[in-house]
A and B are shown apart, each in its own frame.
Chain A
């Protein structure tokens, strides 16, 4: 599997540069959260201070935006976990005409540019004469959150030996008991991982939200609006640092939860 030879120096250097390119900008975000200069980003920062954390903490608009983002993320994730699991179970087990088409249609929202999803949803909401609200944002987010959960659940179904369900039925468990005692425990970590990824996606979504939100401001939308007026600029950086932390934790957790599940569950040999 793994090649024994060592990678050439050039390749290592290129890898290092690539990783730096990806992550150095984040270090600047972190750095300028502490700068004493509140108008422009000059390097090096003229001084370091913690006062922006206090300022950010005291601003009600930030708290409102954060609370909205958390609620949207949680509910969109919940919807995605139910619908994604059901879709994965149905498409894994059943063989029917049009199955491939439905698979494609479920996955499509994550492949489509957010701007298309956004415009389409906005037009549909207008046509249906539905007012923009908290729930329109949730529905917009759920479109791509479902895909993440669906993919995770489907991958786990594929790795679970089909005879486990038959074994459970054989031992006297009806459909509900089999789901509760065999299917769900086998899916649990995959669902948790999918749910966390879905939440992370929802939490930093801008484009679909722009098209489906009315007056509400989610945290990413708030940050975008802060960029155009450079008052108290480091506050935006403080919030950005917070967002990085909030999204990193579930992604790391998801990674650790699904790690080591590469073997086929139930393949008893």
Chain B
């Protein structure tokens, strides 16, 4: 019932319009430029993450798509339809709020059936559909409870069911797992991803957790200071970060300035080097090598992270598998890495 066909909305050219299209969208709050000429397109059925630190504009972007804010400049289209004058309740888009925003005076079933009720769906029909949706999110049996009598994880599922029961064209999720503890968050990540595949609805997912964004999304946009730094698949964003911000926000990275890179590699080009790409006292000869002294050792379970001061100047983080007894602080080590591990960076905010 909730599996949707490809949308019929098409552009003049005949190709399917993207589910969501933002073109040169800006939004100002007083002195603060929350979004600065942001453009991107989300394909139908895609799991699209918006990743960034707090205040980077990702939530503003979500609220613009939902219709709670209006852009100062630029246009937003949903399935090819301009959204300029369309209020939130006329957009076929639903939101899972960060604080869930469940109606405290209604039962779980009535919360889920709310969207159907205000659209005039009959009582029996809306309760049947809400019940089916609660079953989908594994909450059958809790229909009569009030939200206050649910755990955090259960509330999260109710919020999800309440949004999905309306069969939106796009589901917006605003840090939906932020309030859950780590174990539950990891479990819900898997479930959300499975759910998205099952219902085939476009998900736009806001998070500040890079692990969440990498693990769940088909593509992600990295936000900083109101601008998009990079858009790409998780693999591309992680392995070919476009800017120093992306390299250090998504995973750990050693950022080498142009001067530092020249001393190590001979090429005057600032670049990023992932700690796990560096080999310690490598058996096989590496393309690039450097000597240094271990400053600090941190045991992380599966891997151990060393901080090494190179003789050539910069400090590098090095991740090595924990199975080997690692070097102690003060030890001399030689580091090696392939040339391909160096990812050249462009200056901040390309374009």
For the complex, is B66 an interface residue (Cβ under 8 Å from A)? yes
Cα separation A173 to B148 with both chains bound (whole Å): 23
How far is the CB of B153 from the nearest CB of chain A, in Å?
Answer: 11
Cα separation A174 to B98 with both chains bound (whole Å): 22
For the complex, is B245 an interface residue (Cβ under 8 Å from A)? no
Instruction: Classify chain B: how many residues form its interface, as a range.
Output: 20 to 34
In the complex, the answer to whether A171 meets B97 with C-beta atoms within 8 Å is no
For the complex, is B127 an interface residue (Cβ under 8 Å from A)? no
In the complex, the answer to whether B88 meets A164 with C-beta atoms within 8 Å is no
Chain B residues with Cβ under 8 A from A186's Cβ? 104-105
Query: In chain B between 45 and 90, which residues have their CB closer than 8 angstroms to a CB of chain A?
Result: 66-68, 87-89
Total interface residues on A, CB under 8 Å, equals: 23
Chain B residues with Cβ under 8 A from A185's Cβ? 103, 105
Chain A residues with Cβ under 8 A from B179's Cβ? 268-269
Count how many pairs of residues, one from A and one from B, have CB atoms less than 8 Å apart in the complex.
85
Cα separation A133 to B104 with both chains bound (whole Å): 45
Cα separation A163 to B59 with both chains bound (whole Å): 14
Instruction: Write the chain A residue with the least CB distance to B105.
Output: A185
Instruction: Write the chain A residue with the least CB distance to B115.
Output: A171
How far is the CB of B105 from the nearest CB of chain A, in Å?
Answer: 5
Chain A residues with Cβ under 8 A from B89's Cβ? 169-174
In the complex, the answer to whether A173 meets B101 with C-beta atoms within 8 Å is no
Contacts A166-B88, A172-B89 given; indicate if A161 touches B114 (C-beta within 8 A): no
Cα separation A186 to B106 with both chains bound (whole Å): 10
> B114: which of A163, A181, A266, A269 is its contact (CB, 8 Å)?
A181
Cα separation A263 to B146 with both chains bound (whole Å): 14
Query: In chain A between 162 and 199, which residues have their CB closer than 8 angstroms to a CB of chain B?
Result: 163-164, 166-174, 177, 181-182, 185-186
Cα separation A168 to B102 with both chains bound (whole Å): 9
Instruction: Write the chain A residue with the least CB distance to B112.
Output: A171
For the complex, is A265 an interface residue (Cβ under 8 Å from B)? yes
Chain B residues packing against A (C-beta within 8 Å): 66-68, 87-89, 93-95, 97-105, 114-115, 117-119, 147-148, 152, 155, 159, 162-163, 166, 179
Seed contacts A169-B67, A171-B89, A171-B166; 18 additional CB < 8 Å A-B pairs: A163-B99, A164-B101, A166-B101, A167-B101, A170-B93, A170-B163, A171-B118, A181-B103, A186-B104, A186-B105, A263-B148, A265-B105, A266-B99, A266-B103, A268-B99, A268-B159, A268-B179, A269-B99
Chain A residues packing against B (C-beta within 8 Å): 161, 163-164, 166-174, 177, 181-182, 185-186, 263, 265-269
The 7 closest A-B pairs by CB, nearest first: A268-B100, A171-B115, A167-B101, A163-B101, A173-B118, A169-B88, A185-B105
